[in-house]
Amino acid sequence: MSQKVVCLKYFSRFAELTGKTTEEYSTRVSSVEELWYELDKQYSFGQPISTVRPAINHQFCDWQSSINDGDLIGFIPPVSGG
């Protein structure tokens, strides 16, 4: 596993928990799912993965998608209407 630096974009609840809306993040994991669990350990999102939508470079993706150096990765929490 090689080291890569990705740009993370946090929305809503995740931005509140991390205290930021974007972050440059260095990781050795290879999939979006592995990245989610790595971040969850650090920030304690407390959100079931089944309720979150991942995106790479502005496109929704599945959890097994590979991440590459320089990717923009977002995790979109459930949105409630009002």
This prediction's pTM: 0.91
Give the model confidence (pLDDT) of 26-56 as tens digits: 999 999 999 999 999 999 999 999 999 999 9
Helix-strand-coil percent breakdown of the chain, rounded to 5? 25, 30, 40
User: What is the pLDDT, as a whole number, of residue 79?
Assistant: 74
| Beta bridge mates, 62 | none
- Look at residue 1 and tell me whether its pLDDT is greater than 70: no
Place of tokens 């590979």: 66
What domains appear along the chain, each with residue ranges and CATH number?
A: 4-76 (3.10.20.30)
CA distance 80 to 74: 18
pLDDT score recorded for residue 31: 98
Furthest C-alpha separation in the chain? 44
In the chain, what percentage of residues exceed pLDDT 90? Answer: 84
The answer on pLDDT for 81 being more than 60 is no
CB count in 10 Å sphere of residue 30: 16
Gap between the Cα atoms of 36 and 38, Å rounded:
5
